[in-house]
Amino acid sequence: MTAYQTLEQRFARLAALEGAAGILGWDAQTLMPDGAAEARGDQLAILRGLAHEMLTAPGAAEDLLAAEQAGHPDPWPAANLREMRRAQAHATAVPRDLVEASSRAVSRSEMVWREARRDADFARLEPHLAEVLRLQREIGEAKGDALGLDPYDALLDSYDPGMRRATIDPLFADLTSWLPALIARAREIQASRAAPLPLAGPFDVDVQRALGLKLMAAVGFDFTRGRLDISLHPFCGGATDDVRITTRYDVADFGRALMGVLHETGHALYEQGRPAAWRHQPVGAARGMSLHESQSLIVEMQACRSRAFFTFLAPLLREAFGRSGPEWSPENLHALNTRVAPGFIRVDADEATYPAHILLRYRLETAMIAGDLAVRDLPGAFNDGLRELLGLAVPDDRVGCLQDIHWPSGAFGYFPTYTLGALAAAQLFRAARSAEPALPDCLAQGDFGPLRDWLRAKVHAVGSLHGTDELLARATGAPLGTEAFRAHLEARYLAGAS
- Spell out the residues 6+ positions from residue 169 whose beta carbon is closer than 8 angstroms to its own: none
Find, among 253, 236, 234, the residue nearest to 245 by Cα.
236
Active-site hit among 264, 271, 300, 365? 264
b/e string for 328-360 if b means 16 or more Cβ within 10 A?
Answer: bbbebbbbbbbebebebebbbbbbbbbbbbbbb
CA–CA separation, 419 vs 411, rounded Å?
16
φ, ψ at 244 (rounded to 5°):
-105, 125
Is residue 264 part of the annotated active site? The answer reads: yes
- How many beta carbons lie within 10 A of that of residue 496, not counting itself? 13
CA–CA separation, 103 vs 105, rounded Å?
5
Calculate the dihedral angle through the C-alpha atoms of 167, 168, 172, 173, rounding to the nearest 10 degrees: -50
Find, among 291, 247, 254, the residue nearest to 269 by Cα.
291
Catalytic residues: 264
